[in-house]
Structure 1
Amino acid sequence: MEAFTRLDAAAAPLPLANIDTDQIIPKQFLKTVERAGLAKGLFYDFRFDEQGVEKPDFVLNQPAYKNAGVLITGDNFGCGSSREHAPWALMDFGIKAVVATSFADIFYNNCFQNGLLPVVLKAEQVAQLMDEARGGNHVVSIDLEAQTVTSPSGAVFSFEIDPQRKQKMLQGLDAIGETLQAAGSIDTYEMKRALSQPWLEGA
């Protein structure tokens, strides 16, 4: 997992509440366990019409936001079914952080396991970021170490994050990476167990 320290990126405003995981990545794109290639299904029903043609009025289809690295959105983002493909699709598109007033719990947890930073801010702060993201300069800075979001105009907003999750994001550690940090201790335990309880090894 790639470490997250600081992100300076274009922010795309998506002022909708209760966007569920099926809207983030529809079920027809869940046939793969590969993370690459899921960007094509991200917000598919929002981005494309029935003929598969891009809808020009959807924010991520607009030239200024096609390379957005931050999504500013509404309340309860990521609700619905548990779907790890949702953060995968966002990241495959190039989005590395989502800012909202709240997230669904399972989606929020999945974000940290996959290196996507979910940032919770107050409603008025999210509204200001939305407004500024619609302007000509829509570059937002997110500093995980300082736990701040800086708007295009320079307004600074602080956010809370669990300290352990913060450190894992800063170090780029997912569950596997965290376990591998203890590889030496695990090997030592296995050796001791093999000596003291050889029957468990089939000896």
Structure 2
Amino acid sequence: MSPVSQIVARGIPLPGDDIDTDRIIPARFLRCVTFDGLGEHAFEDDRAQDASHPFDDAKYADGGLLVTGNNFGCGSSREHAPQSLMRAGVRAIIAGSFAEIFAGNCTNLGVACATATPEVRSELIRLIQADPTAEATLDLEALTVTISGETYPVAMADGARDALLTGQYDFLAQLLEAAPEVAEAGQKVPYLSGFKA
């Protein structure tokens, strides 16, 4: 588990509110056994309907910081949505607000979810569109995002921020790391150890 204090990446502008998980990864891709390959299908239906979608635009091909609208990740709580974004290269998202389960699933993957005012997001999108090669720095300690020499405030949920800063966001890794303690505790549980209480 590696702490995440800064994310440096090119931006991807995706204006619009209420972008739900079915748009992020359409339901037909939920039948996968693993999450491998989901990245190439992020926003697949939106991209099919919009030839200028940023996930198909070569200018943003190497982007890792998604800037979007309010209520991002609403709808069903499918983990496939943040998995597809992460596998498409997204390492951080700045939105007006997030669906709570979506943001939690992102945090568990090490993808930072920060919020910013409409004015800040509008300016970030303008700067990204003006220079898609510009790298942005999302600083989780300072709660700022810097791009093209300009710095703006962002906010994050305290628990998610702390989990990323301390590297304690990956619960499966924590469980595997504590495997000896888990096995020892299991021996003390009657229905696991076979002993009678």
TM-score between the two structures when normalised by the length of structure 1? 0.83
Q: Distance in 2 between the 1:2 and 1:91 partners?
A: 16
- On the 8 A contact 2:114/2:154 being kept in 1, the answer is no
**Residues 181-190 or 25-34, more deviating:** 181-190
Aligned residue number for residue 11 of structure 2? 11
Q: How does 1:133-148 map to 2 (within 5 A)?
A: 133-136=128-131, 137-148=133-144
Aligned residue number for residue 41 of structure 1? 41
Q: Distance in 2 between the 1:202 and 1:186 partners?
A: 17
Please report how far the alpha carbon of residue 186 of structure 1 lies from its aligned counterpart in structure 2 after TM superposition: 3.6
Aligned residue number for residue 129 of structure 1? 124
Q: Distance in 1 between the 2:129 and 2:39 partners?
A: 23
Q: Distance in 2 between the 1:31 and 1:9 partners?
A: 31
**Percent identity for Structure 1 against Structure 2:** 34
TM-score between the two structures when normalised by the length of structure 2? 0.86
Superposition CA RMSD, Å:
2.5
Q: Which residue identity lines up with residue 6 of structure 2 in the other structure?
A: R
3-state secondary structure, aligned to 2:18: coil
Structure 1 gap ranges (5+)? none
Please report how far the alpha carbon of residue 181 of structure 1 lies from its aligned counterpart in structure 2 after TM superposition: 5.1
Which one of the candidate residues 79, 82, 86 is aligned to 1:84?
79
Structure 2 gap ranges (5+)? none
Which one of the candidate residues 68, 78, 103 is aligned to 2:63?
68
Deviations 1:58-115 (A, max 9, x none): 1122221011101100111111111100000000000111100101122112111222
Deviations 1:129-185 (A, max 9, x none): 11111112532111223322113232232423314x323223153222233455454
1:201 equivalent to 2:194? Answer: yes
- On the 8 A contact 1:115/1:172 being kept in 2, the answer is no
- On the 8 A contact 1:77/1:103 being kept in 2, the answer is yes
Larger Cα-atom Rg: 1
Aligned residues: 194
Q: How does 1:91-110 map to 2 (within 5 A)?
A: 91-110=86-105
